[in-house]
Amino acid sequence: MKWNLRLAAANRGVWKASELRRMLAEHGVEMSTGKMSGLWSGQPAVLRPDELDAFCAVLGCEISDLITAEPEKVPAPRAGAEQADTAVGQQRGPVPARSVTPRPRSGRSLPPR
């Protein structure tokens, strides 16, 4: 994921983190100076949906202007690793034997043995 907050803000004429922080406060989103600094200068570790909505409202942009997907950075599958292309409920290879213990209909668990 590429975080483009500074670019989106610059496209709207916002050049300082403190100015954006003040604009967010006017929209009801109080953000600490430290968090705002982290969002302004680097990748967010945590970003709540309401904060993302506030950024879009203040900057008049879409989420895609703030966040760009980078699927090419995801590592390729390792050689020999099984891929999860089986349907839900299906298993590959022999099914291991399991013992099934019925539960009483009362909903209570059985006592320990």
Domain boundaries, the chain: 2-71
Q: Residue type for 7, please?
A: L
Cβ atoms of residues 31 and 54 within 8 Å: no
Backbone angles phi, psi at 67, to 5 degrees: -125, 130
- pLDDT reported for residue 16: 93
Percent of the chain with pLDDT over 70: 79
Per-residue pLDDT, averaged over 22-31, amounts to 90
Instruction: Express each pLDDT in 49-100 by its tens digit.
Output: 888 899 999 999 999 999 988 888 888 888 765 555 556 666 566 666 777 7
- pLDDT reported for residue 21: 93
Q: Which residue has the tokens 């989106």?
A: 8
- pLDDT reported for residue 19: 93
* Whole-angstrom distance, CA of residue 108 vs CA of residue 87: 33
Q: Residue type for 2, please?
A: K
* Whole-angstrom distance, CA of residue 8 vs CA of residue 6: 6
Of 1.10.260, 3.30.470, 1.10.3430, 3.90.1310, the CATH number of 2-71 is 1.10.260
